[in-house]
């Protein structure tokens, strides 16, 4: 039998799960509308382009002695060929402007339309219990409390789940999820503070080496005021949201000067941040100081996923 205090917390967990299910359904509707709009945009563009080509084709077509049946067959064949060709071309062109402008405008309309409901459910994304964020565990907690009467407190269930999560296979799954998020972005907001505790933030590009996805590298000029703050070793990061709402956030991390020179990381920068190396002179590349951010844990958020990955236990 749960205590009154634990039962009240469980009731909040149930409310949270209901809100999360409603949020996921809403996000599913948004994603469906986005896909449908993109498909319709390509289809309409292909039809209009085909109509334009058809007008041009009929202006220059010469049928000679073809019968009416043959003329109809030729016209139908040309229409089908033009339609499929234009559909294929527009599927490629939809990734670029001006098609992307239409898509972004429609996505902004969707965000405005559903902003109120999404913001209302956002307060349930995180759930703290004894200063620990346990939203990821809530479905398991509710399941075990419902199916295993031997558990008489939330603490017992959490201890049982923690023991299960010590499985190395589960940790590998977490790393794969984190790698998926990292592959979607290379831009973050880096927040630090000076000796008086005055916070400041700036947008940074970063790269990741092959062997350690939780260690990010970025460069900065030696004469920037940020150097003193970075050398303090304390910071917080939050990546820029992707089109799927993917973000990585962490305040459990360590910042330190890396042993690399910028030119030693040139291949990674060229692959992950195209154009960055070309924007710097040889002198600037030589002077650039490379810092590393070692994430001890990170919060992974998207429209449908909210998890925490731990790399280093203090």
For residues 43 and 91, membership in a common domain is answered with yes
Assigned domain for 61 exists: yes
Q: What is the pLDDT of residue 37?
A: 94
Q: Which band of pLDDT confidence, cut at 50, 70 and 90, is reported for residue 3?
A: confident
For residues 99 and 201, membership in a common domain is answered with no
Assigned domain for 171 exists: no
Q: What is the pLDDT of residue 166?
A: 57
Assigned domain for 3 exists: no
Number of alpha carbons in the 13 Å side-chain half-sphere of residue 20: 18
* Higher pLDDT pick, 43 / 59: 43
For residues 156 and 274, membership in a common domain is answered with no
For residues 212 and 162, membership in a common domain is answered with no
Least confident of 54-58, 232-236, 266-270, 274-278: 54-58
The total number of structural domains that make up the chain: 3
CA 269/CA 219 separation, integer angstroms: 10
Q: Provide DSSP, 15-66.
A: HHHHHHHHHHHHHHHHHHHHHHHHHHHHHHHHHHHHHHHHHHHHHH---TT-
Q: What is the pLDDT of residue 58?
A: 76
Model confidence at 91: pLDDT above 60: yes
For residues 84 and 133, membership in a common domain is answered with no
Assigned domain for 140 exists: yes
Region 52-73 average pLDDT: 77
Mean pLDDT (the chain, rounded): 85
Model confidence at 311: pLDDT above 90: no
Query: Per-residue pLDDT tens for 113-148?
Result: 888 888 888 788 888 888 888 887 888 888 888 888
Handedness of CA 106, 109, 114, 120 (dihedral sign): positive
Query: Per-residue pLDDT tens for 10-19?
Result: 899 999 888 8
Q: What is the pLDDT of residue 190?
A: 92
Assigned domain for 1 exists: no
Assigned domain for 154 exists: yes
Region 19-32 average pLDDT: 86
Assigned domain for 43 exists: yes
Model confidence at 168: pLDDT above 60: no
For residues 142 and 69, membership in a common domain is answered with no
Last residue of a domain, one of 136, 166, 196: 166
Assigned domain for 138 exists: yes
Q: How deeply is 188 buried, as exposed, middle or buried, from its count of CB atoms within 10 A (0-12, 13-18, 19+)?
A: buried
Model confidence at 312: pLDDT above 90: no
Residue % of the chain over a pLDDT of 70: 95
- Give the range of the structural domain holding residue 144, as residue numbers without chain letter: 126-166
Model confidence at 171: pLDDT above 70: no
The whole model's pTM is what?
0.57
């Amino acid at each position: 039998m749960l205590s009154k205090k634990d039962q009240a917390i469980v009731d909040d967990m149930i409310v949270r799960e209901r809100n999360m299910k409603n949020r996921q359904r809403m996000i599913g509707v948004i994603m469906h509308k986005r896909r449908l709009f993109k498909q319709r945009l390509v289809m309409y563009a292909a039809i209009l382009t085909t109509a334009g080509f058809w007008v041009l084709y009929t202006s220059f077509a010469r049928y000679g002695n073809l019968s009416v049946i043959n003329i109809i067959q030729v016209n139908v064949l040309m229409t089908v060929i033009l339609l499929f060709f234009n559909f294929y071309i527009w599927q490629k062109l939809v990734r670029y402007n001006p098609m992307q402008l239409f898509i972004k405008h429609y996505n902004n309309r969707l965000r405005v339309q559903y902003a109120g409901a999404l913001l209302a459910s956002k307060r349930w994304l995180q759930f703290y219990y004894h200063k620990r964020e346990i939203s990821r565990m809530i479905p398991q907690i509710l399941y075990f409390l419902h199916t295993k009467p031997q558990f008489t407190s939330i603490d017992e269930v959490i201890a049982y789940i923690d023991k299960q999560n010590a499985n190395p296979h589960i940790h590998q799954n977490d790393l794969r999820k984190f790698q998926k998020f990292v592959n979607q972005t290379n831009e973050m907001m880096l927040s630090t503070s000076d000796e008086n505790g005055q916070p400041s933030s700036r947008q940074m590009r970063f790269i990741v080496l092959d062997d350690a996805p939780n260690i990010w590298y970025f460069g900065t000029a030696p004469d920037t005021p940020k150097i003193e703050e970075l050398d303090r070793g304390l910071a917080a990061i939050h990546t820029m949201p992707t089109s799927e709402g993917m973000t990585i956030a962490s305040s459990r991390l360590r910042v330190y000067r890396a042993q690399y020179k910028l030119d030693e990381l040139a291949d990674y920068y060229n692959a992950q941040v195209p154009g960055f190396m070309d924007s710097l002179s040889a002198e600037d590349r030589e002077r650039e100081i490379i810092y590393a951010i070692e994430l001890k844990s990170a919060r992974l958020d998207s429209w449908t996923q909210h998890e925490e990955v731990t790399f280093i236990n203090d």
